[in-house]
């Protein structure tokens, strides 16, 4: 499971938290964890918004990412 979170500037961070081990993964195409995040969410893994609500449009969100 993954979760969006609010960055230090008060806006949505350009990163996602992997809840299984609490790592923060930046939206960087060369980052292997980021590639796995996109692949897993597109395959059905849960993505929560910053408030903890399950995103029903996770695939659409993934499509907006680099």
Specify whether the CB–CB gap between 19 and 52 falls below 8 A: no
Closest to other proteins by CB, 21 vs 57, is 21
Of 4-12, 39-47, 54-62, which segment contacts other proteins by CB under 8 A?
Answer: 4-12
Toward other proteins, which CB reaches closer, 23 or 42?
23
CA distance 29 to 31: 6
Residue 60 found at the interface with other proteins (CB under 8 A): no
Q: What are the C-alpha distances in Å from 4 to residues 23, 45, 52?
A: 12, 14, 8
Q: Residues 19, 31, 61, 65: which binds other proteins (CB under 8 A)?
A: 31
């Amino acid at each position: 499971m993954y979760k969006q979170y609010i960055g230090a500037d008060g806006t949505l961070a350009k990163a996602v938290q992997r809840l299984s081990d609490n790592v923060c993964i930046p939206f960087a195409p060369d980052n292997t964890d980021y590639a796995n995040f996109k692949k897993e969410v597109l395959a059905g893994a849960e993505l929560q918004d910053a408030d903890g609500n399950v995103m029903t449009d996770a695939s659409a969100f993934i499509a907006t990412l680099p």
